[in-house]
Structure 1
Amino acid sequence: MQPLEPNAVFKGLDLSDRDFTDADLTEAVFEDCRFEDVQVSGAGFEGARFKACRLVRCRFAHAEFREARFEDCVFSEAQQGVAFAFSRLDEAVFARCDLSFARFDRAGLYGVSFEACNLRGSSFIKADFAKALGRSIVRTAGSFAGSNLELADLAELRLPGGDFSRCSFREADLANADLEGADLREADLFQASTFGLKLARADLRGAEVSGLDLKALGSIEGLRVTLDQQAALLTAMGVEVSAT
């Protein structure tokens, strides 16, 4: 049996029955591997690479995934998603992954990047996109560009300046989230719950904003929209817009 150790390469293996507790798999490579019903606690996957892997019905608790990369991986099956609880995923990259119904529970996500991922029905419970760089300097970073966030629970999410361009938020919960200064160009906010959502200085040019009630938002100062979006925004506020 191939040992679980740093820099190891695993290809085409079913690793579902392995015990990953406290394993050190720094910089390991996993290609076309299966992880099913795996419960992982305290393992280190810093800088690891996962390609075309299936990680379904798995739970990663207190695990380290800093700078890990996942490409074309599947984390969901029959509406059951992966769980990352109290894990560190700072600057991790998920590219074209199916993360439907994933749970990021108190996970560290500073600088994480979701590239064209399916995050339908996912939840981010007290997820932390911030990093302290000094006694009084705290920065936030994260990107969801081109991802599907329909039905996602993003309530109270704090990611000012984040990249949400071309994302779908249909029927997502964005209540009291802080997306000030975020890139929301060409995003779809149709039927999203946006009460208390902070959008000051955010860029919504080209976004689907019908139904977005500016009066119910937490902040709007410096919000960027185009002229052809005005009618939809005014209508949502109860203003009758006439062509003449």
Structure 2
Amino acid sequence: MPARPAPQAPRLPSFAPASYPGAGDLTALDADGRCEGLRFEQDDAAGADLEDAVFTACFFRGVSLAGARLERASFGDCRFEELLAPTLSAPDSAWWNTRIARGRIGSAELYGATLRSVLFDGGKLGYVNLRSAELKDVLFRDVIIEELDLGSATATRVAFEDCRIDSLLLHGARLSHADLRGAGLRSITAPAGLRGATIDALQLQDLAPLLAAEAGIRVL
């Protein structure tokens, strides 16, 4: 039997340093809710209404989005450093060509969101709700994730490097070129959703009892 090809890696931009000429204030957006080329540092947007806001080529450092309403917000060509959000409420939001470095997010409500060419680089994520989301070219690198819910999500060219996932939920997930070899997996729910993913031999050993039970195989 011919060997299967390796999964395709996420296609990401270089995330080269850029200049951000203007200073922004998340609590005082323009009337149309659009921001471009602005720098936000140490802003506290707790409880702010940022629904449908559009951020393009913006830089965020040490920003708190605790309780901010980000439904249908868009972030394109943005950079985040040390994002703090006990609760990130951003259902149906859109993220593309964006890097989130050293973020600490307790609960990320990203169901229905679209993520394209996104890098999660370091940090810790609690519950990540990506149900019914669309992920394409997404890389998690050196990230601890307590619970990752990909129920009914579509994930293409998604990879993990030096990550830990305590609980992975895959009900109805549709995976293609999903590379899980760089993730320490402690628990998987609905392992049938692994179809289209790549794991290594050690992971297969750990998952063997779960996969056997899913297939109705009795091991004596």
Using the size of structure 1 for normalisation, the TM-score is: 0.69
Corresponding residue for residue 58 of structure 1? 63
CA-CA distance at 1:204 after TM superposition:
3.8
SS in 2 for 1:34: strand
Once the two structures are superposed, the pairs formed by residues 38-53 of structure 1 within 5 Å of their partners are 38-53=43-58
- Structure 1 residue 83, shift from structure 2 partner: 1.9
Aligned runs of 1:75-114 on 2, under 5 Å?
75-76=80-81, 81-114=82-115
Equivalent pair of 1:46/1:65 in contact (CA under 8 Å): yes
Higher strand share: 2
Whether contact under 8 Å (1:184, 1:207) holds in the other structure is no
Select 1:152's aligned residue among 140, 143, 146. 143
Pairs aligned (count): 194
Deviation at 1:171, TM superposition (A): 2.1
- 3-state SS of paired residue (2:140): coil
CA drift at 1:219: 4.5
- 2:80 maps to a residue whose letter is F
Distance in 2, matches of 1:191 and 1:87, equals 25
Q: Determine which of 16, 22, 47 is the counterpart of 1:13.
A: 22
Other-structure match for 2:120: 119
1:184 is displaced (CA, Å) by 2.9
Question: How far apart, CA to CA, are the structure 2 residues paired with 1:125 and 1:201?
Answer: 24
1:177 to 147, 164, 168: 168
The amino acid across from 2:187 in the alignment is: G
Compared CA separation, residues 82 and 65, structure 1 to 2 (3 A): same
Report the AA paired with residue 159 of structure 1: L
Q: Partners in 1 of 2:32 and 2:160 — Cα distance?
A: 34
Query: Deviation of residue 34 (structure 1)?
Result: 0.8
Query: What amino acid sits opposite 1:188 in the alignment?
Result: D
Report the secondary structure of 2:100's partner residue: coil
Deviations 1:21-73 (A, max 9, x none): xx676750001011012122211111010000011121111101100101000
Indicate the residue corresponding to 2:191 in structure 1.
Answer: 200
Unpaired stretches in structure 2, ≥5 consecutive residues: 1-19, 216-220
Q: 1:179 to 1:171 in 2, by over 3 A?
A: farther
TM-score by length of 2: 0.76
Identity %: 20
Q: Is the 8 A contact 2:159 2:182 kept in 1?
A: no
Q: Secondary structure at the match of 1:94?
A: strand
* Structural RMSD (CA): 2.6
Larger radius of gyration: 1
Consecutive unaligned residues in structure 1, runs of 5 or more:
1-10, 130-139, 223-244
SS of equivalent to 2:184: coil
C-alpha distance in structure 1 between counterparts of 2:209 and 2:144, whole Å: 18
- The code of the aligned residue for 1:202 comes to G
> Contact 1:14 / 1:35 at 8 angstroms: preserved in 2?
yes
- Residue 236 of structure 1 corresponds to none
